[in-house]
């Protein structure tokens, strides 16, 4: 599937770092907006709109943004989108009405719909096939660090300076995307002359690959069922278990930190595609079981081992999915594949959030956790048959053969130096 002949770790670090900085800024801005809206007396509908606004464009626009990510110079996309998003975020810092805020967040989501598949498709072009799990773990680690830092930054900045400063900082983080676009040597897209763009983009559909299709359906279905617990988490930890705000923050951080561990554990194992599919099924099922177990704990301290296990399985699942997509999708179609895979995840998350909010209005939070976790296990079991069948039938090696230097798979615009993500 057209990997480079030598791994460019500097590009991996630059791309992962820029994406993590931007993600940190987005999460910080969203947290700051929620805090500010709550202080202004805005209702739950306004808060939900803020949380969902940026998630809708990647779902609606996936068909077009994926094609752009495959056909347009990745440098042009990252620099242009980064600068435009920075300008939009600057306008957001001076917006006052809820409608204007939601509209600007939706515009930011349009940029994310383009930059996310572009960066995701660049990663496999930066490294050799055998180095892809490690590159995916680096990306996942950077992303988790960004998400760990964001809530604390939002709380401090809003508490000390109000809403505008966090949004101005978020505008600066988008410049990291533009800057990375300028300095990353690896490029893809039909106009770059890079290897992936020297031939017409191949026709590809996730549905055409049984293993990828089973994986995508499984992940989307489980997210739709389980994501609602994110809405109820604060009510479980602080309301039912009477833990402090500090404990709630530490538990959230523990999940993210454990994701890093899980991603590296997965990256350290040389697994064939079929075995990666089985590993993904196991980690998803374990993660759902952890969610169900959270419903019966008598005290917040019992959540520590559960969150550690849940975060680790979450991180392992993410790396396995990224590696499978990168290995099995033709190089010239990776932008479309990652855009559509991301659209499934975002759509499922929106459904989960809406269901969680609605169910919390009529059900105790423990029932929500137990029901979501157990239903997630049932869904995973129900979809295990097609995934396991596809995994057993798959005969792909652990890593596709590396093309020799100078072949069409190596980018002439980016000679590879001698020599993980998420």
Query: How does pLDDT run along the chain (422 residues), one tens digit per residue?
Result: 555 557 889 999 999 999 999 888 888 888 788 777 766 776 667 777 877 888 889 999 988 999 999 999 999 999 999 999 999 999 998 988 888 888 999 999 999 999 999 999 999 989 888 888 899 999 889 888 888 888 777 777 877 888 888 889 999 999 999 999 999 999 987 554 444 444 455 667 788 888 999 999 999 999 999 988 888 887 888 888 988 877 887 888 899 899 999 999 888 777 788 888 899 999 999 999 999 999 999 999 999 999 999 999 999 999 999 999 988 888 888 899 999 999 999 899 989 888 888 888 888 999 999 999 999 999 999 989 888 888 888 754 444 444 443 333 333 333 333 333 33
Task: Indicate yes or no: pTM above 0.85.
Answer: no
413: in domain: no
Q: Domain range spanning residue 99?
A: 8-199
Is residue 106 assigned to a domain?
yes
Looking at the fold, whether 158 and 118 belong to one and the same domain comes out as yes
Are 214 and 270 contacting, i.e. CB atoms less than 8 angstroms apart? Answer: no
In this structure, are 99 and 213 located in the same domain? no
- 139 and 251 share one domain: no
User: Is 403 within a domain?
Assistant: no
Mark whether 178 and 68 lie in a shared domain.
yes
User: Quick check: is 411 in a domain?
Assistant: no
Residue 151 falls within a domain, yes or no?
yes
Do residue 135 and residue 217 come from a single domain? Answer: no
Does 191 lie in the same domain as 77? yes
Inside any domain, residue 75: yes
Domain boundary among 166, 199, 232: 199
Same domain, 317 and 367: yes
Q: Are residues 126 and 84 in the same domain?
A: yes
Q: Are 289 and 371 found together in one domain?
A: yes
| Domain tally, the chain | 2
In a domain, 373, yes or no: yes
CATH of the domain at 15: 1.20.1250.20
**Co-location of 222 and 179 in the same domain:** no
Tell me, yes or no, whether 112 and 187 share the same domain: yes
Query: Are 101 and 121 within one domain?
Result: yes
Question: Does residue 33 form part of some domain?
Answer: yes
């Amino acid at each position: 599937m057209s990997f480079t002949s030598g791994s460019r770790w500097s590009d991996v670090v630059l791309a992962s770092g820029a994406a993590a900085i931007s993600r940190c800024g987005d999460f910080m801005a969203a947290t700051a907006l929620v805090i500010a809206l709550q202080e202004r007396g805005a209702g739950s509908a306004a808060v939900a709109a803020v949380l969902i606004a940026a998630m809708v464009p990647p779902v609606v626009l996936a068909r077009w943004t994926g094609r752009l990510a495959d056909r347009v110079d990745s440098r042009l996309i990252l620099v242009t989108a980064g600068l435009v998003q920075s300008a939009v975020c600057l306008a957001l810092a001076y917006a006052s009405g809820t409608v204007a805020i939601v509209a600007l967040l939706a515009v930011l989501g349009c940029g994310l719909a383009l930059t996310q598949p572009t960066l995701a498709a660049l990663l496999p072009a930066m490294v050799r096939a055998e180095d892809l799990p490690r590159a995916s773990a680096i990306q996942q680690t950077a992303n988790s660090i960004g998400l760990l830092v964001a809530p604390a930054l939002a709380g401090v900045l809003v508490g000390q300076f109000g809403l505008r400063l966090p949004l101005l900082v978020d505008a600066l983080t988008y410049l990291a995307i533009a800057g990375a676009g300028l300095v990353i040597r690896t490029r893809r897209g039909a106009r770059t002359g890079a290897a992936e763009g020297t031939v017409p983009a191949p026709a590809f559909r996730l549905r055409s690959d049984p293993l990828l299709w089973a994986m995508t359906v499984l992940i989307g279905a489980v997210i739709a069922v389980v994501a609602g617990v994110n809405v109820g988490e604060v009510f479980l930890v602080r309301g039912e278990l009477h833990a402090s705000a500090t404990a709630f923050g530490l538990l959230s951080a523990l999940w993210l930190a454990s994701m890093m561990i899980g991603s590296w554990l997965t990256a350290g194992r040389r697994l064939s595609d079929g075995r990666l599919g089985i590993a993904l099924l196991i980690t998803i099922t374990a993660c759902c079981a952890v969610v169900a177990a959270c419903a019966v704990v008598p005290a917040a301290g019992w959540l520590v081992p559960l969150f550690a296990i849940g975060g680790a399985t979450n991180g392992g699942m993410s790396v396995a999915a990224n590696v499978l997509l990168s290995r099995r999708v033709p190089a010239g179609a990776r932008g479309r594949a990652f855009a559509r895979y991301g659209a499934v995840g975002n759509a499922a998350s929106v459904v989960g959030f809406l269901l969680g909010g609605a169910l919390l209005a009529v059900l105790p939070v423990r029932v929500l956790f137990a029901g979501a976790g157990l239903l997630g296990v049932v869904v995973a079991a129900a979809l295990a048959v097609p995934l396991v069948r596809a995994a057993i039938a798959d005969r792909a090696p652990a890593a596709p053969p590396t093309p020799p230097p100078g072949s069409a798979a190596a980018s002439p615009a980016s000679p590879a130096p001698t020599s993980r993500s998420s």
